[in-house]
Amino acid sequence: MNKMLKEFKEFAMRGNVVDMAVGIIIGGAFGKIVSSIVGDVIMPSVGILIGDVDFSDLKVVLKEAVMQGSEVIKPAVTLNYGSFIQVVLDFIIIAFSIFLLIKGINILKRNKKAEEKPATPAAPPADIQLLTEIRDLLKDQQNKNK
């Protein structure tokens, strides 16, 4: 049992697992922010532009509610396409935001790699170049004499 707990602790404390958990928590909060922007800011504005339409109320009734007086016995069966439109806009905004984030990270990585590239080595001093040429000439002569 101790071994399994130790393995779990090692797994849970790895850097990438902790980073992933933080990312999921921040992603959930970010999703709520985007949903609020879409539901509370964008959709009402779009609704006003197209004639005071509340997208959350847009639906097609497939089967009317069964009523007995003022009491609902069976609720209506509806296709809530207004809610679907709102969720699609949520997705598009979140996907675009993540795209911009990844694009920014990639630019930063490219800039960092460009800075890290080693400079081309300087040419060796003249005396070293001369000795290298002499060595190569001697090798060529030895190969010709063989």
Q: DSSP readout, 29-49?
A: HHHHHHHHIIIIIIHHHHHHH
Structure tokens at 1: 């049992």
For the segment 33-63, what is each residue's pLDDT rounded down to a tens digit?
888 888 888 878 877 887 777 777 789 999 9
| pLDDT tens per residue across span 73-84 | 898 999 989 888
- For residue 19, the 8-state DSSP code is H
Compute CA distances 126 → 119, 133, 135, 136, whole Å. Answer: 20, 11, 14, 15
With a cut of 70, say whether residue 119 has pLDDT above it. no
Does pLDDT of 124 surpass 70? yes
Bridge partner list, 65? none
pTM: 0.53
Burial category of 82 from C-beta neighbours within 10 Å (exposed 0-12, middle 13-18, buried 19 and up)? middle
Residue-wise pLDDT for 87-117, tens only, equals 888 888 888 888 888 898 889 888 877 777 6
**What integer pLDDT is reported at residue 118 of this predicted model?**
66
